[in-house]
Chains A and B, each alone.
Chain A
Amino acid sequence: MRATDSAFLERLRAPLQGFLDEDASDELVFSADCGVQRTLAGGKVVRARNRLFVAGLKIYEGFSQDEMAGRLISGVRDIATRSSNEFVRIRAGGVVVSGKAILLPSVPAPHLPALVALLIRSGAEYLGDEVVNLDPVMHRVHGSSLPLLLAEDDLALFPELDPGREPSRRRRAAGDGAKRPRRPVRLEELGGRRAEPTTPARVVFPTFEAGSTTTLRPIGDAEALFRFTQACLNLHIWADRALLLFREVLRTTRVAELVVGSLSDGARLLLEQMGVEGGEPVG
């Protein structure tokens, strides 16, 4: 990582501290041009425009270094995990409650990390906010040690975090795609801790429908299998073997669909469900 502003490197130091390698090779992957703030005649201030490049390809341009850090961590995660095909990679959140893992496979959903963060704040252990690895041999879910990436418009749910700069109306209107501003949040900031690889006890497919009533409802076997394959990130590698694995995981877990109208209600509902099961065997 290199940057034109040492403050940006310092900003990354905390969320990526476990990965710091001062003796890394000269093979620089990420370059941040942090721009220069200028004052024009008449006193008008032009904010510094930041640009982030990976191997020469621009992946971020904007005014927020927090957003740029989020984009960087998202890129790091892609690079770090895209070749780990010894696992079946799932786009999913994952937490462990009372020793039991909840897997939340999903299509790309900007509010999924916030749902996971709310579960962590309530005492769940952390596996992943939107990408986890499923071990095809022992069926355990392996998590990530990278920070969570919370959508900036979900930060209001976490008053303990520094909200940073309010995203502009134009940025909020950017939709749910890759341009949506996100910022890294360390697990420690949420008072959470990482979970060991854990076998899932429950698979819940979340759909985010703002304003709907938050409900946990049954889902058919075929629909669950379809939604699992939709969330698989390396289906081109595992092909039909992934279907066999998913079918087996679904067979040995409790499966449901969670319609999330409110993130707080969704987190509460999931925790209640795990609480109802208590220490009883699941499956």
Chain B
Amino acid sequence: MLSASYTVRSVDAAFAAALAWHLAPFRRASGDQHAVFVDLFVEEEDEGLQPAPRSLYRGSLLRFKHPRLEKLVGHAVWDLHATVPKVSRDYLFLHAGSVARDGHALVMPAAMDAGKSSLVVALLELGFGYLSDELGAIDPVTGRACPFPKRISLDDDALRHFPGLGDALVDPREAGVSLPQRFLRPEDVGAAVAEAAPPRWIVFLGTERSGPPRLEPVSRADAVRRMAANCFNLYRYQERGVVLLTRVGHEAEAFELRGGTPRERAALLAERLT
């Protein structure tokens, strides 16, 4: 997962299969000596309990303990993805959805629940390539937005905007691991993972959903400030991170997007961002 490597070991085949499905986009051809072990097992002290809770360790840290498989899978998926911007120090991470078209990246910084994932899905339907629904990973050397192609997480509220899509998904729900969210692969909507690309457009997602979609320009200075506010690891890059964001802001056009459903928003972006 970018420069974070994990080796998963489990006493439960269903857990291993579910993790293998979720982490398939990041699967390596060979092992990594620097990989952190992720282990699922029943600890000795819990062996007599019915049902026995299973412990989930990342490295030497106990991350979660629960008897129910779906809770363990859900926590493992969340934990591994959430850990990436903390342990991968070779990228500047924006909390952002990101897609690409014709060698240019569209990065959409936003707070939680602003509709990043659903807008990313709608853009993939319109022919954009997939980078991430959660992380805008900016390479400090080239300034490009790099793919972090995790499965796209959609809750029931997001799926409501895509009638019929839930039935077409092949996430592990059918394999007996039923998580609250559904998970989409870009190929489920006829899209593919894109190559790293220089950001040409920065679109900040407003929280206002009412009315038709509106795209309003944002000044470069304000864009840099708002990207910095959505940065996961600016504390690590400090002034160098601001310099990098300034370069990104200098090369890109910046907008704020308000109103509209995900598909309406995507249609506006596809039309306007050329």
Contacts and interface: CB of A to CB of B under 8 A. Distances in A.
B34 A236 contact: yes
B139 A137 contact: no
Interface stretch (A69-77, A79-87, A185-193, A220-228): A79-87
A135 interface: yes
A241 B243 CA distance: 18
B244 interface: yes
Nearest to A137: B240
Contact of A137 (B3, B88, B233, B237): B237
B236 interface: yes
A138 interface: yes
B84 to A, nearest CB: 13
A245 interface: yes
28 contacts: A83-B89, A84-B89, A85-B3, A85-B89, A86-B89, A86-B90, A86-B140, A86-B236, A86-B237, A135-B240, A136-B90, A136-B140, A136-B141, A137-B140, A137-B240, A137-B241, A137-B244, A138-B240, A138-B243, A237-B3, A237-B89, A238-B90, A238-B141, A241-B90, A241-B139, A241-B142, A242-B141, A244-B141
For the complex of A and B, the 8 pairs showing the least CB-CB separation, nearest first, are: A85-B89, A86-B89, A136-B140, A137-B240, A241-B141, A136-B141, A137-B140, A237-B3
B interface majority secondary structure: loop
Contacts of B89: 83-86, 237
Interface of A: 83-86, 135-138, 236-238, 241-242, 244-245
B33 to A, nearest CB: 9
Contact of A237 (B90, B237, B240, B243): B90
Contacts of B240: 135, 137-138
A275 B140 CA distance: 34
Contacts of B140: 86, 136-137
Nearest to A87: B89
B28 to A, nearest CB: 12
Contacts of B244: 137
A24 to B, nearest CB: 20
A256 to B, nearest CB: 24
B36 to A, nearest CB: 12
Nearest to B140: A136
Contacts of A238: 90, 141
A140 to B, nearest CB: 8
A85 B243 contact: no
Contacts of B141: 136, 238, 241-242, 244-245
Contacts of A245: 141
Contacts of A236: 34
A237 B91 CA distance: 10
Contacts of A237: 3, 89-90
A143 B139 CA distance: 23
A85 B34 CA distance: 13
B217 to A, nearest CB: 27
Contacts of B142: 241, 244
B213 to A, nearest CB: 34
A238 B244 CA distance: 17
Contacts of A86: 89-90, 140, 233, 236-237
A283 to B, nearest CB: 19
Specify which of B34, B141, B236 lies most central, judged by the most chain A CB atoms within 10 Å of its CB: B141
Contacts of A138: 240, 243
Contacts of A83: 89
Interface in B122-173: 139-142
B61 to A, nearest CB: 14
A245 B143 CA distance: 12
A242 B241 CA distance: 18
Interface in B206-236: 233, 236
Nearest to A246: B141
Contacts of A85: 3, 88-90
Interface string B69-91: 00000000000000000001110
Given A236-B34, A237-B90, 8 more contacts: A85-B3, A86-B89, A136-B140, A137-B140, A137-B237, A138-B243, A242-B141, A244-B141
Nearest to B240: A137
A242 B90 CA distance: 11
A83 B1 CA distance: 16
A137 B140 CA distance: 5
Nearest to B233: A86
